[in-house]
């Protein structure tokens, strides 16, 4: 059997260093806001290539608090519009709603599944204040062109980098392009904790301070509350775990790209449409997406006849989610978002896949075409 993502196997590779790091936090007596947190924040900021990192409770909070901090600074109102992809994980749009603004959906590129200036520009209005491009599946959105568009319209940019730790655009890491960026350390992400976690990274010291304040009950000084904040912190145990795993992130992303290269050269293109036309250079492959018009039948075939695990990311485009329907533009068809939702299937990909597992996945997909 080929599991979709065996988290136990992935984390076993980091033992006994994980156990030692956890033991050290237990002994320290500091479990929130301690040295393990500040050590990880420093290391992750350096890794991304920005001066500031603020650990928060999860990726949703990282997005929400970034937008709230910007809204406080620029005086955004409830009518302010924030452009998000019509095809992404729901958190991207929910963060806009939770921050108090209106999400506006932009369709995605048919080949890349990310937003581009071509798909963003038609939905920008005089009320638009910010863009939240998502580096979906680990493939960076075209940040150079998106930042130029934002500059031209006077918009803030928050990168949703929850699926793309370590990816680069033109040599610069994702997270170092926008005015702020949000990361998630959910266990299944490319850099995953042993529980929930997230971070905001930015080059803007005031924004970093504001995010930290909002995530700490709106207080810069204990018991003195200048904003109505929330409790959203990355705890020291998770920070210590992440510090153990960060040094191997690049090597593991390389291994993911090798898996993707194997798939690209062995999967029959007449059976499944390959991501990015088979070009594996840019993505860190959080997910290896293929498309098929009979996606559900392909998934059932893989699991029933070949014991190959697969998942669908994501079966419903955001404008079609009942919870978000109020923000959908009835006149807009979001054709590419809806096609991705109808046809995408995620094949197993992680740094510890064996050659035998890869061959089994390829054989299973080929058999579907026979
Ligand atoms: C995982 C994810 C999030 C949310 O992260 P959590 O830590 O689960 O809150 C946000 N955006 C995208 C694209 C994600 O994949």
**pLDDT for res 278:** 79
Cβ 56 under 6 angstroms from ligand 1: no
Cβ 58 under 6 angstroms from ligand 1: yes
Instruction: Please tell me the distance between residue 368's alpha carbon and the centre of ligand 1 in angstroms.
Output: 32
Cβ 163 under 6 angstroms from ligand 1: yes
| 62, 87, 92, best to mutate for ligand 1 pocket (most atoms within 8 Å of CB) | 92
The closest residue, in CA terms, to atom 14 on ligand 1 is 162
SS (H, E, C) the chain: CECCCCHHHHHHCCCCHHHHHHHHHHHHCCCCCCHHHHHHHHHHHHHHCCCEEEEECCHHHHHHHHHHHHHHHHCCCCCCEEEEECCCCCHHHHHHHHHCCEEEEECCCCCCCCCCHHHHHHHCCCCEEEECCECHHHCCCCHHHHHHHHHHHCCEEEEECCCCCCCEECCEECCCCCCEEEEECCCCCCCCCCCCCEEEEECCHHHHHHHHHHCECCEEECCEECCCCCECCCCHHHHHHHHHHHHHHHHHHHHHHHHHHHHHHHCCCCCCECHHHHCCCCCCCCCEEEECCCHHHHHHHHHHHHCECCECCCCCCHHHCHHHHHHCCCCCCCHHHHHHHHHEEEECCCCCCCHHHHHHHHHHHHHHHC
Instruction: Please tell me the distance between residue 182's alpha carbon and the centre of ligand 1 in angstroms.
Output: 9
Instruction: Please tell me the distance between residue 127's alpha carbon and the centre of ligand 1 in angstroms.
Output: 26
**pLDDT for res 270:** 87
**pLDDT for res 103:** 98
| 103, 163, 174, best to mutate for ligand 1 pocket (most atoms within 8 Å of CB) | 163
**pLDDT for res 281:** 85
Blockwise average pLDDT, block size 10, the chain, 370 residues: 96 95 97 97 98 98 98 98 98 98 98 97 98 98 98 98 97 98 98 98 98 97 96 98 98 97 94 86 95 97 96 98 96 96 98 97 93
User: What domains are defined for the chain?
Assistant: 7-247 (3.40.640.10), 248-368 (3.90.1150.10)
């Amino acid at each position: 059997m080929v599991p979709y993502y065996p988290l136990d196997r992935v984390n076993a590779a980091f033992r006994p260093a994980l156990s030692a790091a956890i033991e050290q936090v237990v002994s320290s007596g500091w479990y929130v806001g301690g040295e393990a947190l500040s050590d990880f924040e420093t290391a992750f900021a350096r890794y991304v290539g920005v001066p500031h990192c603020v650990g928060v409770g999860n990726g949703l909070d990282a997005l929400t608090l970034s937008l709230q901090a910007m809204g406080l600074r620029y005086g955004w109102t409830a009518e302010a519009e924030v452009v998000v992809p019509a095809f992404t994980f729901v958190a991207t749009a929910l963060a806009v709603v939770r921050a108090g603004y209106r999400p506006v959906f932009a369709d995605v590129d048919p080949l890349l599944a990310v937003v581009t200036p071509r798909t963003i520009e038609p939905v920008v209005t005089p009320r638009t204040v910010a863009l939240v491009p998502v580096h979906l599946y680990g493939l960076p959105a075209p940040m150079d062109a998106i930042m130029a568009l934002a500059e031209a319209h006077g918009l803030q940019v928050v990168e949703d980098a929850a699926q793309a730790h370590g990816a680069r655009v033109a040599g610069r890491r994702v997270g170092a392009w926008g005015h702020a960026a949000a990361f998630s350390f959910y266990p299944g992400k490319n850099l995953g904790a042993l529980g929930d976690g997230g971070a905001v990274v930015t080059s803007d010291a005031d924004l970093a301070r504001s995010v930290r304040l909002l995530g700490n009950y709106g207080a810069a000084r204990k018991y003195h509350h200048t904003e109505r904040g929330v409790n959203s912190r990355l705890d020291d145990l998770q920070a210590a775990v992440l510090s153990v795993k960060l040094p191997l992130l690049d090597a593991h992303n390389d291994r993911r790209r090798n898996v993707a290269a194997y798939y690209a050269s062995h999967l029959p293109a007449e059976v499944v449409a390959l991501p990015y036309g088979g070009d594996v250079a840019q993505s860190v492959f959080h997910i290896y997406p293929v498309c098929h018009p009979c996606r559900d039948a392909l998934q059932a075939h893989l699991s029933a006849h070949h014991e190959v695990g697969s998942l669908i990311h994501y079966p419903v485009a955001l404008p079609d989610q009942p919870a978000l329907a109020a923000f959908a533009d009835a006149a807009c068809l979001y054709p590419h978002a809806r096609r991705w939702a109808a046809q995408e299937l995620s094949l197993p990909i992680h740094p510890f896949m064996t050659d035998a597992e890869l061959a089994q996945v390829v054989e299973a997909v080929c058999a579907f075409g026979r």
